[in-house]
């Protein structure tokens, strides 16, 4: 392929992450762009940017410009401007926080308002984050699916902490925007195995019980 042909394959897409504060937008963006995760919560004031170059099937190089919008911008006058012109939107909520799911109506309303006059509508994904905390889930999966069906949204469940399905989510949105079809093999390749740390709980002497506990346990942290 010549240089000019290669350049013509390069695309840049604006992807916006919105949703309630602490839903995990910054964590998803930094997991995707930098393969990093921080346990410490640091509120995003206004917005932040991340860049990541990916290659889609057909050797299509795409740079994703990820706009991480602070949760407190809802109702503010800048939100419209941040959303405007986005080709992809990730509506993010925390599966352990029902309020963050309920408030998606407002976030989705802001998206519709910002695109009222646009000819081309963005690709929108509903993203349930923190699936590593499945045992604390308060938003049932069928509620999530219904919201997707009613509004024609792509559906994703991810964990910024473990990285589970994060790359796949961004890749799928980029592919949909560009009309690229991902094969089953490509989807499987993008799905990350959830990593579990081994925690050793056998430090204390064990009291005698009818069923003696095992000396170590495996926990997902």
Ligand X SMILES: Nc1nc2c(ncn2[C@@H]2O[C@H](COP(=O)(O)OP(=O)(O)OP(=O)(O)O)[C@@H](O)[C@H]2O)c(=O)[nH]1
**43, two tokens:** 């509120």
Q: Which residues pair with 123 in a beta bridge?
A: 88
Q: How far is the CB of 207 from ligand X (least distance, A)?
A: 32
How far apart (Å, rounded) are the C-alpha atoms in residues 194 and 165?
9
Q: Which is nearer to ligand X, 129 or 171 (CB)?
A: 129
Q: Other C-beta atoms within 10 Å of 177: how many? A: 20
CA distances from 176 to 18, 57, 172, 182, 204 (A): 19, 12, 6, 9, 53
Contact with ligand X (CB under 6 A): which of 160, 168, 169, 173? 160
Contact with ligand X (CB under 6 A): which of 16, 64, 66, 71? 71
214 three-state secondary structure: coil
Q: Which positions from 11 through 50 interact with ligand X, judged by CB under 6 A? A: 21-27, 38-39, 41-44
Q: Which is nearer to ligand X, 71 or 88 (CB)?
A: 71
Q: How far is the CB of 33 from ligand X (least distance, A)?
A: 13
Q: Which residues of this chain interact with ligand X, rule CB under 6 A?
A: 21-27, 38-39, 41-44, 70-71, 129-130, 132-133, 159-161
């Amino acid at each position: 392929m010549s240089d000019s042909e290669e350049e013509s394959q390069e695309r840049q897409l604006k992807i916006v992450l919105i949703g309630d504060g602490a839903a995990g937008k910054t964590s998803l963006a930094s997991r995707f762009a930098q393969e990093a995760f921080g346990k410490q919560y640091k509120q995003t004031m206004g917005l932040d940017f991340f860049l990541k170059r990916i290659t889609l099937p057909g050797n299509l190089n795409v740079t994703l410009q990820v706009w991480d919008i602070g949760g407190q911008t809802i109702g503010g006058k800048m939100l419209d401007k941040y959303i405007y012109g986005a080709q992809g939107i990730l509506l993010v909520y925390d599966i352990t926080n029902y309020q963050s799911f309920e408030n998606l109506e407002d976030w989705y309303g802001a998206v519709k308002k910002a695109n009222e006059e646009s000819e081309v509508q963005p690709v929108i994904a509903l993203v349930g984050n923190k699936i590593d905390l499945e045992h604390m889930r308060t938003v049932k999966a069928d509620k999530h699916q219904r919201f997707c069906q009613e509004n024609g949204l792509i559906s994703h469940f991810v964990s910024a902490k473990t990285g589970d399905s994060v790359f796949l989510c961004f890749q799928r949105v980029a592919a949909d925007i560009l009309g690229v079809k991902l094969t089953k093999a490509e989807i499987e390749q993008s799905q990350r195995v959830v990593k579990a740390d081994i925690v050793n709980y056998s430090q204390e002497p064990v009291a005698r019980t009818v069923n003696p506990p095992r000396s170590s346990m495996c926990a997902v942290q």
